[in-house]
Chain A
């Protein structure tokens, strides 16, 4: 049986590794034609799913660095999406306790609202700072796809990586009740 601290660091590493795997598949040079639709932002869904289940597995530093790397790799304005994602993940973590006893539908709803808010805020700041923007159609498709993929990501996290909501009274590796 692995100790709680080992498991904590193992899962923190797993999060970063999963992010790298996601980057890898997005960078594969398969098709250079401009797409008619946009795929989901799996990394964001994964971050939210883990932040709601085990906030200690996605510390703010690793979320920030991973998102900044994504900004740099995918030709986005560096830093902005990362900053918003860190703030959103923090808000998700603070809601984790309240959502623990709720149904999955409630959780999905609040994640959906958060994703839409995040995208709107991102576009707002981009237009305020007069950065040329991606077409709104593609951005909408991407947000909707991210919300739709969320249950799949949650299922994967729970059944493959055993990232479940903590039961009341459970003590995590840092010695506090989550």
Chain B
């Protein structure tokens, strides 16, 4: 029997082995190409995602809806408790509402006095979340708006309240949002009221830490963190969240956006952003761009 097998394999085996070798070489070639020229391969990736994921969309929406209905049903069981809690919160909120109304009137008066116009360039495109990154290691999601709707790389994305992430990777019909929690996400921010600049540094946890604070002692839990717009790669003044202090004393941001339920997102049209086209052209003064190279492919996506 064994001799029999050898004879029939004599022609098949080497061919199969050759095919395997060629395939493995091709795949490693793709990896090397990605390592050398990341933006080009990432554009290819955006195109592939743009083709594949929308074809799942017809089934994705109903399945997601069914799972969410199941979760909602679970939460009905705690409805009495929740109701009591909500009543209590409502009482507190009424007091806050009064305060807010007074402040609003005061604010309107002051704006009128100053003849301030809020930045009219910030208009937005609203998109629906189609898919998540599908991997526990990357925090990103896919929106159903893309180059067709004029979306560009680097634009900020918010839910109703706070910053969610930035666009990175645009296909024709879809675009990818790298969330603030992703380990490659870095957003320049400012802590109010102390006015200290910092960087919100995603690290794959729910509350990203604040890096490069000059005076951590001036920052208290509960301070607001907003984007600072430093470097011109991100619009300024968007709410990111509140400072929270971990038991070890590390300063982190509790994100304002509701990450557990991201459904509709606003992509802010921000013209005039610095564009990063090639891996070498960092946002830096002209004479410095040549001697500082970016740290890796993940930032270049």
Contact = CB atoms under 8 A, between A and B. Distances in A.
Contacts of A35: 136
Interface string B106-142: 0000000000000000000000011111111111111
Band of interface residues on B: 35 or more
Given A32-B260, A83-B24, A86-B27, A77 B35 contact: yes
Given A27-B56, A87-B24, A132 B296 contact: yes
Contacts of B63: 28
Contacts of B31: 77-80, 83
B12 to A, nearest CB: 7
Nearest to A134: B137
Contact of B132 (A28, A78, A139): A28
B204 interface: yes
Contact of A28 (B34, B64, B139, B296): B64
A30 B262 CA distance: 9
Interface in B31-57: 31, 34-35, 41, 45, 48-49, 52-53, 56
A142 B136 contact: yes
B2 to A, nearest CB: 9
B135 A75 contact: yes
Interface string A83-95: 1001100100000
Contact of B60 (A24, A73, A79): A24
A142 to B, nearest CB: 7
A37 B205 CA distance: 11
Nearest to A38: B136
Interface string A109-142: 0000000000000000000011110110011001
B19 A61 contact: yes
Interface stretch (A6-14, A146-154, A156-164, A169-177): A169-177
Interface stretch (A45-53, A64-72, A100-108): A64-72
A131 B297 CA distance: 7
A169 to B, nearest CB: 7
B101 interface: no
A30 B296 contact: no
Contacts of A2: none
Contacts of A37: 136
B181 interface: yes
B30 interface: yes
Contacts of A24: 56, 59-60
Nearest to A28: B64
Contact of B297 (A77, A139, A176): A77
A74 B27 contact: no
A93 to B, nearest CB: 9
Contact of A73 (B9, B23, B35, B53): B53
B23 A176 contact: no
A131 B41 CA distance: 15
Contact of A138 (B67, B131, B136): B136
Given A24-B59, A77-B34, A134-B137, 13 more contacts: A27-B60, A30-B64, A30-B68, A34-B204, A60-B16, A72-B48, A73-B48, A79-B31, A82-B27, A86-B23, A86-B24, A131-B296, A132-B296
A-B pairs, 3 with minimum CB distance:
A79-B30, A134-B137, A79-B31
Interface of B: 1, 4-5, 8-9, 12, 16, 19-20, 23-24, 26-31, 34-35, 41, 45, 48-49, 52-53, 56, 59-60, 63-64, 67-68, 129-142, 179, 181, 183-184, 204-206, 259-260, 262, 295-298, 301
5 contacts: A27-B131, A35-B136, A77-B35, A169-B1, A176-B8
